[in-house]
Amino acid sequence: MESRYQGIAASPGITIGTAYLVGFPEFQIRKYRITEGGINKELDRWQAAVDATRHEIENIKRRVAQEVGFKEAEIFNAYLHVLQDPLLVQATMEQIRAQRCNAEYVLQEIASGLGRQFTEAKDEYLRERASDINDVVARLLRNLTGQAKRLLTGAEHDIIMIAKDLAPAQTASMRRERVVGFATDIGGKTSHAAIMARSLEIPAVVGLKNITDMVETGDTLIVDGSAGLVIVNADTRILTQYRQAQQRNLQASRKLRKLKGITAVSRDGYRLNVAANIEFPEDVRKARKYGAEGVGLFRTEFLYMNRRDLPSEDEQFEAYCQVARQSLPYSTIIRTMDLGGDKFLSRLGTSAETNPFLGLRAIRLCLTYIELFKTQLRAILRASQFGKIKIMFPLISDVEELRQAKAVLNEVRQELSRRRIAFDKHMETGLMIELPSAALTADVLAREADFFSIGTNDLIQYTMAVDRINEKVAYLYNPLHPAILRLIKKTIEAGHNERIWVGICGEMAADPQLTALLFGMGLDEFSTEPSFVPQIKKVIREIHLARSRELAEEVLACATTKEIENCLQNQIQDKEGCDEKAVK
Ligand code: PEP
Ligand code: MG
């Protein structure tokens, strides 16, 4: 019987395959006694498993560094630390001696105690580490029980991995061509699994809550990573529909990739800049592959995550230089760190908040931890002479906050000038419009900024009072609510009145059904995940700005979301009608 589960869309695309549940249940651990004389042999067996596991992890780390990037490979240092942790390694040896029991039994006992401590830890970083421990222990168990060969590498079908939380080592050690999708109980768009899936361009859905209870190894799964949907054991009719959609997607993306060199010029000759959103410096390669015209949003907070220490000024400088250089001749918009909300940084020791999305997030956190902020600003300014860097501040709520952020930037500029360190004195300074309070005062903000970038992901969340990662209220999260479109329009008008350019970098920019509307509203730049760039350019080339303006006017006069949807639907049908006439 078919069942459907809705989660968080983590990596786009459709995939069909056989479920494989990752986790401990595959091990049948037997307890048996060791004789006094056999203890040294058991300790040797344990040591051999530790060595083999270390070897395995070092190999994966090397491979990930080559195939994905150095930053992702660093995640595996945490695994190597687990393997050196006396609470795991020494304790197992001591218990083998004390209990005179076999290594795998002792290990499993110790690991489940440790796992509990980590899962219940107050510290976010330690909680995240629980999945690292699970993965290392699973590897040790496989090596001890001789089940190492039962890994997916021998699988004959296309595999969809199902796990509570997917550890990056598990992702990376699977043969790329066999693993065609992921689905996990927990996690959001920024979880390890989501980041890895996007890097590898494999469809994935996360945050499904209990998918591990609903699926068994061997079930047939459809993972729709764009819709955040998992369908288990669908009937032949649904499978055929999704296979066809998958084929269409593949053909379309192959065709689209060929268009990477085109520019987004409308039929009546108006040009739009289409840039890319990136999370890691290595993503610039992907942005170029899809023909992005620069980086419209570099989410720098990822440089701070998944690590115990903070990135130094020099490390950040290198990262920003790399992106800025590789984006030339186009520009790179570096967004200052957007930590807080759902992206925590345990290193700062900030206390837990009841409503983190309404708390010490983004620019608020930067203006609280000024030295942390200044370090990032110094790195950005120093890098600004090696490319066309623009800086933008997230979550600005009013002009006073913008002034405070700019004052800190000016202090850093003066400090660098005093130290005779070069930087681009004309670097553009902009802000994200992602709070209703900013959109409603955009006329005031525009007088003191060089550009706006509309962050619709948050603008929708804060306007509609809908947590953007809570699937229970996802039905209210609608970009076509009249309030959202009016705030966008107001922002664009306010920016243009002050002669500054206005872009959009939220997920709305990636939806081709909304391209004409947003273009008609007057946006100057769209910035999206790299793989969406060709599609958006293609749509722009098929439309007229004049007609798009009329559409925008019609839509803005609508009273309800339903009316707006109908209006857009009619526009699509009109267009199809025109295309058919053109063919005849
Ligand atoms: C947004 O809010 O639309 C945005 C682009 O920023 P982020 O998704 O990183 O919050
Ligand atoms: Mg945002």
**CATH code of the domain in which 241 resides:** 3.50.30.10
Phi, psi of 307, rounded to the nearest 5 degrees: -155, 160
Question: pLDDT of 213-258, one tens digit each?
Answer: 898 878 899 999 989 999 999 999 999 999 999 999 888 878 888 8
- Nearest CA to 528 out of 496, 565, 550, 503 is that of 503
In a domain, 2, yes or no: no
On whether both 219 and 292 belong to a single domain, the answer is no
Contact 34, 50 (CB under 8 A): no
> What pLDDT does residue 578 have?
54
In a domain, 550, yes or no: yes
Domain endpoint, select from 95, 114, 145: 145
On whether both 507 and 542 belong to a single domain, the answer is yes
CA distance 234 to 112: 36
Domain endpoint, select from 124, 145, 166: 145
Q: Cα(474) to centroid of ligand 1, in Å? A: 16
> What pLDDT does residue 476 have?
86
On whether both 272 and 247 belong to a single domain, the answer is no
CATH at 477: 3.20.20.60
Cβ 378 under 6 angstroms from ligand 1? no
Q: Quickly count: other Cβ atoms within 10 Å of residue 315's Cβ.
A: 13
Domain endpoint, select from 202, 228, 253: 253
- Side-chain half-sphere exposure of 385, counting CA atoms within 13 A: 9
Phi, psi of 312, rounded to the nearest 5 degrees: -75, 170
The catalytic residue positions are 192, 505
> What pLDDT does residue 117 have?
75
In a domain, 567, yes or no: yes
By most ligand atoms within 8 Å of CB, the mutation choice from 277, 505, 508, 526 for ligand 1 is: 505
On whether both 477 and 352 belong to a single domain, the answer is yes
Cβ 527 under 6 angstroms from ligand 1? no
Q: Cα(457) to centroid of ligand 2, in Å? A: 6
In a domain, 1, yes or no: no
Cβ 506 under 6 angstroms from ligand 1? yes
Q: Quickly count: other Cβ atoms within 10 Å of residue 164's Cβ.
A: 18
Question: pLDDT of 531-576, one tens digit each?
Answer: 889 999 999 999 999 999 999 999 999 999 999 999 999 886 666 5
- DSSP for 155-204? --SPEEEEESS--HHHHHHS-TTTEEEEEESS--TTSHHHHHHHHHT--E
On whether both 309 and 409 belong to a single domain, the answer is yes
Q: Cα(295) to centroid of ligand 1, in Å? A: 14
> What pLDDT does residue 23 have?
59
In a domain, 249, yes or no: yes
On whether both 315 and 212 belong to a single domain, the answer is no
- What's the number of domains the chain is made of? 3
Phi, psi of 181, rounded to the nearest 5 degrees: -175, 165
Cβ 299 under 6 angstroms from ligand 1? yes
DSSP code for 354: S
List CB contacts of 401: < 8 A, sequence separation 6 or more: 363, 367
Cβ 434 under 6 angstroms from ligand 1? yes
- Nearest CA to 334 out of 430, 401, 404, 196 is that of 430
**For ligand 1, atom 9: residue with the closest CA:** 299
On whether both 135 and 214 belong to a single domain, the answer is no
In a domain, 259, yes or no: no
> What pLDDT does residue 20 have?
81
List CB contacts of 102: < 8 A, sequence separation 6 or more: 30, 31, 32, 34, 42, 96
- Nearest CA to 474 out of 228, 158, 141, 300 is that of 228
Question: pLDDT of 156-197, one tens digit each?
Answer: 568 898 888 775 555 555 545 478 998 988 876 655 567 667
**What is the position in ligand 1's atom list of the atom closest to the CA of 507?**
3
**Which parts of the chain have pLDDT scores under 50?**
24-25, 148-155, 175, 177, 580-584
- DSSP for 267-311? TTS-EEEEEEEESSTTHHHHHHHTT--SEEEEEGGGGGSSSSSPP
The domain of 68 spans: 26-145
pTM for this model (two decimals): 0.73
On whether both 195 and 105 belong to a single domain, the answer is no
In a domain, 5, yes or no: no
Q: Cα(32) to centroid of ligand 1, in Å? A: 54
**For ligand 1, atom 8: residue with the closest CA:** 457
On whether both 66 and 125 belong to a single domain, the answer is yes
Residue 385: strand, helix, or coil: helix
- Nearest CA to 339 out of 363, 371, 368 is that of 363
CATH at 56: 1.10.274.10
**For ligand 1, atom 7: residue with the closest CA:** 457
On whether both 202 and 229 belong to a single domain, the answer is yes
Cβ 224 under 6 angstroms from ligand 1? no
Contact 503, 527 (CB under 8 A): yes
> What pLDDT does residue 307 have?
65
Cβ 384 under 6 angstroms from ligand 1? no
On whether both 367 and 447 belong to a single domain, the answer is yes
In a domain, 258, yes or no: no
On whether both 271 and 207 belong to a single domain, the answer is no
Arithmetic mean of pLDDT over the chain? 87
Percent helix / strand / coil, the chain, rounded to 5 = 55, 15, 30
Q: Cα(361) to centroid of ligand 1, in Å? A: 12
